[in-house]
Amino acid sequence: MKKTVLFSMVAAAVLFTGCSEETKKAAGETATAAKETTQSAVQDVKETAQKAVDAGKKVAEEAKEKAAEAMEATKEAAAPAVEAAKEAVAETTGATEEVDGKALYAKCASCHGADGKNSALNKSEIIAGQSAADLEMKLMEYKAGTRDVSGMGNLMQAQVSRLSDEEIKAVSAYIATF
């Protein structure tokens, strides 16, 4: 009876050891397989990521080139518009210079009349019909404070003191057209 028990134990131990060896081996194989799978998965991910990066780079390159082309095209297309705008501004400025005298006369009309035919405050001579040169000279004298025909020189000085010489010339030329 004792022998049988001992034999059983030995057999069990041998079996156990055998099993254990096999399990270990199987586990080892499983681990290796898992490792390989993981490695190949990592490799795949790396490759995919690299491909994505390369594709992204290419797209960025192309976009850059296209943007540069578009900018060049915009510049070319805009150039005539810029020129036209410049010309328009120049024309407008020129036009403003032409109407300057008329615009400046607006504040004179209340006393001298829209066509310059009123005696301002019943004191001034009629300015319509006078030459541009005469008008300019008289206005320059008012500006300098050296002209006073009927005691209203100061009033006229206040009217023209802030006008530039060019503006006096322009308004005189405009009055001369009446």
The answer to whether 109 and 172 are in contact (CB under 8 A) is no
Judged by beta carbon, residue 20 or residue 154, the one nearer ligand HEC is 154
Q: How far apart are CA 16 and CA 10, in angstroms?
A: 10
Can you tell me which of 35, 75, 117, 123 binds ligand HEC, judged by CB under 6 A?
A: 123
Judged by beta carbon, residue 139 or residue 169, the one nearer ligand HEC is 139
Can you tell me which of 101, 111, 143, 173 binds ligand HEC, judged by CB under 6 A?
A: 111
**Residue 135 CA neighbour count, 13 Å, CB half:** 23
Stretch that binds ligand HEC, among 26-34, 42-50, 87-95, 104-112 (CB under 6 A): 104-112
Q: CB pairs under 8 A, 24+ apart, for 160-165?
A: 163/104, 163/139, 165/140
Q: How far apart are CA 20 and CA 100, in angstroms?
A: 111
170 near ligand HEC (CB under 6 A): no
**Residue 173 CA neighbour count, 13 Å, CB half:** 13
The answer to whether 178 and 129 are in contact (CB under 8 A) is yes
Judged by beta carbon, residue 60 or residue 121, the one nearer ligand HEC is 121
Q: How many residues bind ligand HEC (CB under 6 A)?
A: 26
167 near ligand HEC (CB under 6 A): no
127 near ligand HEC (CB under 6 A): yes
**Interface ranges with ligand HEC (CB under 6 A):** 107-108, 110-112, 120-121, 123-125, 127, 135, 138-139, 147-153, 155-156, 159-160, 171
